[in-house]
Chain A
Amino acid sequence: MSEGPTPSEMAKRPEQVARLLDRLRALNLAYSPGHHGRWSAARRAGLFDVCLRELFAEGDPPAGVAMVALGGHGRGELAPLSDIDLLILHPGDRPAEVAAVAEKILYPLWDAGFAVGHAVRTVPECTAVAVERLDAATAMLDGRVLTGDEAVWREAHASVLRLVRDEPWAFAGRLLADAHERHGRFGSVSHLIEPDVKEGAGGLRDVCSLGWLAAAVADPGGPEGLEAEGLLGAAERQALDAAQEFLVRVRSALHLATGRATDRLYLDQQAEIAHSLGFADEPGLRAVDGLMRALSEHARQVEHVVANAFNRFLEGGSQPEVVPSPEGVLRAFASLARERGVMSPATLDLIDAVELPAPVEWTEGVCEAFLEILRAGEEGVRALEAMDRIGVLERFLPEWAPIRCRPQRDPYHRYTVDMHLLQALGGMARLLGDAERDDPLAVEAAGLVSDGDALLLGALLHDIGKTGEGNHVPASARVAAEALDRMGLPEPTRELAAFMVAQHLLLPDTATRRDIGDEDLVLDVAAKVGVPERLAALYLLAVADAGATGPLAWTPWRAALVRELVTKVQRVLERGDMGTETAEQLAERVRTLRQLLATEEPGEVDRFLLRMPRSYVLTVPPDEIAAHVPLVRKPIGASEVRTISGQGSREGTFELTVVAADRPGLLSWIAGAFTLAGLSILSAKVFTTEDGVAVDVFEVEGLFERDVGEERWRDFRSTLRKAMEGRLRLAHGVAEKRKRYPAPRDEFPIEVAVHNDASDFFSVVEVGTTDRIGLLFEVTRTLQELRLDVRLAKVATYGSRVVDAFYVRDELGRKVEEAQRIDEIEGALRARLEGLSAAPGAPPALAPSAS
């Protein structure tokens, strides 16, 4: 509100202006700040009219002069701090006198703090300026003569009207271009969290633009004229009317609350405005969100109705056939999407007359027609918007109602929930089409998808449960499942869409918040995803979702992280390391393990499983795992060795699990200790817990005798402990032992190779050679000298030939990929193995072989 005048100013102030100020103040106080709608705005304009007429009369104007209110004042719509825009029309022969009259009117108003714009023109000048400037033309279209020579105004107004009526298409085009430019500058009332209720898209200026269109194309003008011309439906006119009233109230409340002529609804004013307009906190919807929701709702109607009217005028309305049934209504919108058209008001009336139960029953035809709309991409989105605006969409999809126009208060989201979903649908349609070729991953992913309908549905529904209560992902999964069930979709489509909704944050959340260099994490994601098509679906949804969120959501930064995760998971799925079957197997094993450990405290089992790598749970049988639990539970000392022994896979072999604090070289010490204890290693599975405890499972057999008892294990443990404590030189002991036995009879060629395609996390070192005493010790010792960390060892013996594979990483946890380093590794291993074959010593011919 403008500040009241001080007493000394009152003295100088003309009484007409003082009266105006009093009356305005009284008007502002007559209603609560939230109830200054169009009636109040018209009343305010009337108060100005009275004052201006009095000032004009006092100025004693010459003949042929008229005073005209332009723009909002002309329309009789003045918000508390709206500008006043005046036109003084004159014949042109006595400019000095006219200027004096203008001054007498304007100065007292300016002195009182009113923002008054003015123009002094002749009729030809009015025409000229209207040709030149669109805003001047529209201001005069809204003009209303206040006093003076009405004939001269009629002449001026008629000349402006002629201008726009002579070329209504050009004028409509100019209005649209101007609106487009304005929307670019001020954004949208329905989307922005701090909207400009006057200039934004869907704001009051757009309502005005319909009036200007009406002036140009209908006689009489106004919404009724547009309706008579078939450019506006009756329901649309009502929606526009309600929206205008609401927008005027918000704008007036904003003026009264801030005391400034501001039209942008900033966050810190929203609570006060919400309160003054009567919004109260509701469960799941705060008062401010209620205000913004209502504002968004109205602004969208304005945008929609105004766009409809302009498009019908410029392109003609579509009149698709409407079979009076739910399916018929959807078919009409589907054909609208195909034609890229706008429903004519007559067709809207036909649709309005169709009885749509709430909710509509989804027949096969309804489902097919709905999918047809989705498949239309961008045009389908427009058709859905059109359905939404006339309240038809929620008849088919009642789940839509709670998220309509719901604001999202976070720094990422630009759009309301429903708008976001429609944008995501449009984005998904583009990804599935061939519009976006700049993301090779998306192109490949789209190529992998065989069920596009599921992806469109997943995009449309992914946030359907975002109603402000609780975590929106499970809520959306639940709500989407209900909706999808009702639609009667083919089972695979329903399942994939439901999966997408339930897991729509899996990729972005994992990629940005977790360590994607962790193999188990990637395996877990692969287990959740199961098959490549689902992974592709989730990636496309992540892209579409982010694109529909705002420019901050899909940055190259985020994209790089998500893509890296996707490529890793894809390779895990391709290799079969993890997939639907493996995931089920994993779950089954965990279930069995829990049964076996039923007496343990459940939390204990969980803690154990968290510490162990997935590959351990997948490769070690549950009954063995159950036996390992007590072995691993207690913290382990630096040189402590725990073992547990059991039957091997066949007669005469044994399984020994060795638990010790992990450190570089441990595997080679274990191998060496086995050799010294007279045990031959048939297979080795090496695992490390989260907290650095080695749990290594070996299958061994006696080098010389089949029976191996507790005494031998004790022997092994004490040898290993001595080696760990540095009291025993294993290399020496093993070499001595080897010397005592003859060399093997068959010699196999030495094969050493480093592979990098078997895993994203490890390089695989493959070694093939003739079996010898202490071979595994020699190989693992070499790997340790090369500062390679062995995560998994697969040892296979074929007669007297051995093929071992070691999954290794370098000291920084990287795969070994540089050619030079690979050469070094291959060279070192080859040299060591060649050294062995040159020296005497091999397993005795008596030793049972593994074949």
Chain B
Amino acid sequence: MKLVVGIVKPFKLDEVKEALREIGVAGLTTTEVEGFGRQRGHTEVYRGAEYQVDFVPKVKVEVLCGDDQADGIVDAITKAARTGKIGDGKIWVTQVEEVLRIRTGERGADAV
């Protein structure tokens, strides 16, 4: 089992959701997150008032899946979230040791 984590631009969330739905992903978790990568923060100015934006708002998408699905999910997120501009985000995949569905007590692949 794997956990696919994607950090994407907020306005891309709907497209990512839709792309994942199309390849049959049944469940995902999203979180509003802030951070910075190469894009860094920046200073905004409004009528002379300056304020520092240290962290850029992004959305984190997490999908738990079987080993064979991870590539497809990575592809789908990449295609949907890509604008070609700075700040498109990142995706990483980690190995998951154990999964348990709380309601039924199912474990492992059954619980994904």
Measured CB to CB, the residues of A under 8 A from B are 440-441, 443-445, 447-448, 512-517, 532, 555-558, 560-561, 563-564, 566-567, 570, 812-814
CB interface residues, B 9-26, toward A, < 8 Å: 9-11, 14
Distance from A80 Cβ to chain B, minimum over Cβ atoms (Å): 31
Interface stretch, picked from B44-52, B66-74, B101-109, is B44-52
B10 touches A512 (CB 8 A): yes
- Enumerate chain B residues within 8 angstroms of A517, measured Cβ to Cβ: 83, 85, 87
Distance from B93 Cβ to chain A, minimum over Cβ atoms (Å): 24
Bound-state CA distance A440–B52 (Å) is 11
B32 touches A555 (CB 8 A): yes
Given known A-B contacts A441-B51, A515-B9, A515-B11, A563 and B46 have beta carbons under 8 A apart:
yes
Q: Which of A514, A516, A570 contacts B46 (CB 8 A)?
A: A570
- Enumerate chain A residues within 8 angstroms of B33, measured Cβ to Cβ: 557
Chain A CB within 8 A of B34 CB = yes
Chain A CB within 8 A of B28 CB = no
CB interface residues, B 43-62, toward A, < 8 Å: 44-51, 53, 55-57
Distance from A526 Cβ to chain B, minimum over Cβ atoms (Å): 14
Bound-state CA distance A515–B84 (Å) is 13
Bound-state CA distance A556–B52 (Å) is 12
- Enumerate chain A residues within 8 angstroms of B46, measured Cβ to Cβ: 440-441, 444-445, 563, 566-567, 570
- Enumerate chain B residues within 8 angstroms of A445, measured Cβ to Cβ: 46-47
Bound-state CA distance A814–B42 (Å) is 13
A448 touches B47 (CB 8 A): yes
A443 touches B49 (CB 8 A): yes
Would you call the interface of chain A mostly helix, strand, loop, or mixed? helix
Distance from B30 Cβ to chain A, minimum over Cβ atoms (Å): 12
Bound-state CA distance A441–B32 (Å) is 22
12 CB-based A-B contacts, threshold 8 Å: A440-B49, A440-B51, A441-B46, A441-B49, A444-B46, A517-B85, A558-B57, A560-B53, A560-B56, A561-B10, A563-B51, A567-B44
Distance from B56 Cβ to chain A, minimum over Cβ atoms (Å): 7
Bound-state CA distance A555–B55 (Å) is 13
B84 touches A813 (CB 8 A): yes
Q: Which residue on chain A has the smallest CB distance to residue B41?
A: A560
- Enumerate chain A residues within 8 angstroms of B53, measured Cβ to Cβ: 560, 563-564
Bound-state CA distance A555–B47 (Å) is 23
Distance from B51 Cβ to chain A, minimum over Cβ atoms (Å): 5
B86 touches A813 (CB 8 A): yes
Known A444-B49, A517-B87, A555-B32; 4 more pairs at CB < 8 Å:
A440-B49, A445-B46, A557-B57, A560-B57
- Enumerate chain A residues within 8 angstroms of B50, measured Cβ to Cβ: 440
Q: Which residue on chain B has the smallest CB distance to residue A810?
A: B86
Distance from A216 Cβ to chain B, minimum over Cβ atoms (Å): 50
Bound-state CA distance A604–B48 (Å) is 44
A557 touches B34 (CB 8 A): yes
Bound-state CA distance A561–B10 (Å) is 9
B interface residues, how many (CB within 8 angstroms): 24
Distance from A555 Cβ to chain B, minimum over Cβ atoms (Å): 7
Bound-state CA distance A137–B89 (Å) is 62
Distance from A561 Cβ to chain B, minimum over Cβ atoms (Å): 5
Bound-state CA distance A659–B14 (Å) is 33
Bound-state CA distance A440–B44 (Å) is 11
Bound-state CA distance A443–B56 (Å) is 22
A560 touches B49 (CB 8 A): no
Distance from A78 Cβ to chain B, minimum over Cβ atoms (Å): 38
Distance from A22 Cβ to chain B, minimum over Cβ atoms (Å): 40
Q: Which residue on chain B has the smallest CB distance to residue A813?
A: B85
- Enumerate chain B residues within 8 angstroms of A560, measured Cβ to Cβ: 34, 53, 55-57
A444 touches B11 (CB 8 A): no
CB interface residues, B 81-96, toward A, < 8 Å: 83-87
- Enumerate chain B residues within 8 angstroms of A514, measured Cβ to Cβ: 11
- Enumerate chain B residues within 8 angstroms of A441, measured Cβ to Cβ: 46, 49, 51
B83 touches A563 (CB 8 A): no
Q: Which residue on chain A has the smallest CB distance to residue B38?
A: A812
A564 touches B11 (CB 8 A): no
List of 8 A-B pairs having minimum Cβ-Cβ separation, nearest first: A813-B85, A440-B49, A812-B86, A444-B49, A557-B32, A444-B47, A567-B44, A567-B46
Bound-state CA distance A843–B86 (Å) is 42
- Enumerate chain B residues within 8 angstroms of A440, measured Cβ to Cβ: 46, 49-51
A814 touches B86 (CB 8 A): yes
Distance from B79 Cβ to chain A, minimum over Cβ atoms (Å): 16
Bound-state CA distance A268–B88 (Å) is 41
- Enumerate chain B residues within 8 angstroms of A516, measured Cβ to Cβ: 11
Bound-state CA distance A42–B86 (Å) is 71
A513 touches B86 (CB 8 A): no
Q: Which residue on chain A has the smallest CB distance to residue B31?
A: A557
Bound-state CA distance A792–B51 (Å) is 30
Distance from B54 Cβ to chain A, minimum over Cβ atoms (Å): 9
- Enumerate chain A residues within 8 angstroms of B34, measured Cβ to Cβ: 556-557, 560
Q: Which residue on chain A has the smallest CB distance to residue B47?
A: A444
Given known A-B contacts A557-B57, A560-B55, A512 and B11 have beta carbons under 8 A apart:
yes
Q: Which residue on chain B has the smallest CB distance to residue A448?
A: B47
B32 touches A513 (CB 8 A): no
Bound-state CA distance A517–B12 (Å) is 12
B45 touches A567 (CB 8 A): yes
Bound-state CA distance A558–B51 (Å) is 15
- Enumerate chain A residues within 8 angstroms of B87, measured Cβ to Cβ: 517
Q: Which of A444, A563, A564, A813 contacts B48 (CB 8 A)?
A: A444
Bound-state CA distance A561–B83 (Å) is 18
- Enumerate chain A residues within 8 angstroms of B9, measured Cβ to Cβ: 515
Distance from B97 Cβ to chain A, minimum over Cβ atoms (Å): 31
- Enumerate chain B residues within 8 angstroms of A564, measured Cβ to Cβ: 44, 53
Bound-state CA distance A713–B87 (Å) is 42
Distance from A538 Cβ to chain B, minimum over Cβ atoms (Å): 13
Distance from B84 Cβ to chain A, minimum over Cβ atoms (Å): 7
Bound-state CA distance A512–B57 (Å) is 9
A814 touches B85 (CB 8 A): yes
Given known A-B contacts A557-B33, A567-B45, A812 and B11 have beta carbons under 8 A apart:
no
Distance from B2 Cβ to chain A, minimum over Cβ atoms (Å): 27
